[in-house]
Amino acid sequence: MDTEQLKKPFFIFIEGADGVGKSSTTTLLGEILTNAWKKKVNKTLIMQFTEAGTLLRNIAIKDDTVSEELKFLSYCFSTFYGLDKLISGFDDKDFVIVDRSHASTFAQSICAANMEETTKSHAVKFFSVLNDKFKETYKDRYLFVNLTVTPEVALERMQKSRGELDLFEKRGPVYQEKIRQSYNTFFIYHIDKSNVITINTGEKPLVTVIDDIVLHLKEIGKL
């Protein structure tokens, strides 16, 4: 690896459907890498990384007056725009832990309710091109942590922690299961196995989830 690459941070994308524990995992992993491993770490949310992304995310998950196509496009742009800005902004860090990634865009493109199949097909093809570009550009500088749990447990967690559900979450367990399966499809067919670790947060306490991630980082030579 050349000197320029050595200066770049390693990105950890915490992914999965709502309610799997992304925020808790992001927070505790950041604390462990900072305090126990003395690493320079930044934590961020990909969609809210820019003002434009935050605005578009709100259209996607809160405004029930816009079409499914507009929701999806808002979701996509907020994600990819945030990713582009994010990747170029943290050369002074060892790790950047990101809540969500472009994997979310793939999951939504598969599951978007009431969106025409031709539009959905074009969206998936467009995503695949962007994802191939991402993999070629960043190669071994990223890890996806695919968190998973049953839809019933996820919805119960969200209701308890927030007291309300967004427009996607209100579609219920069947939709959440489609999202979960779509993430699995993404990680099986679109990302190399060495760049993914899948953890069921319904079967393990948070501290064990963090231990699994740290162990994987050690195994691939990042710690």
Residue 54 lies in a domain: yes
**Pairwise CA distance, residues 131 & 122, whole Å:** 14
Q: Strand pairing partners for 147?
A: 199
Please give the helix or strand (H or E) that residue 142 lies within, else none.
strand 142-148
Query: In which domain, by residue range, is 48 found?
Result: 36-205
Domain-embedded: residue 30: no
- Give the model's confidence band at 3: pLDDT under 50 very low, under 70 low, under 90 confident, else very high: very low
Residues of the chain with pLDDT > 90: what percent?
A: 32
pLDDT (average), residues 188-202: 91
pLDDT at 95: 95
- Per the structure, the count of domains in the chain is 1
Residue 3, in any domain of the structure? no
21 falls within a domain: no
Of the candidates 189, 194, 89, the one whose C-alpha atom is nearest the C-alpha of residue 139 is 194
pLDDT at 7 over 70: no
Q: Strand pairing partners for 145?
A: 14, 197
The answer to whether the beta carbons of residues 157 and 209 sit under 8 Å apart is: no
Instruction: Decide if 91 is inside a domain.
Output: yes
Q: What is the mean pLDDT of the chain?
A: 83
Whichever domain contains 86, its CATH number is: 3.40.50.300
Q: What is the mean pLDDT of residues 124-140?
A: 80
Judge whether 31 lies within some domain.
Answer: no
Q: For residue 223, is it within any domain? A: no
Indicate whether 77 belongs to any domain.
Answer: yes
pLDDT at 2: 43
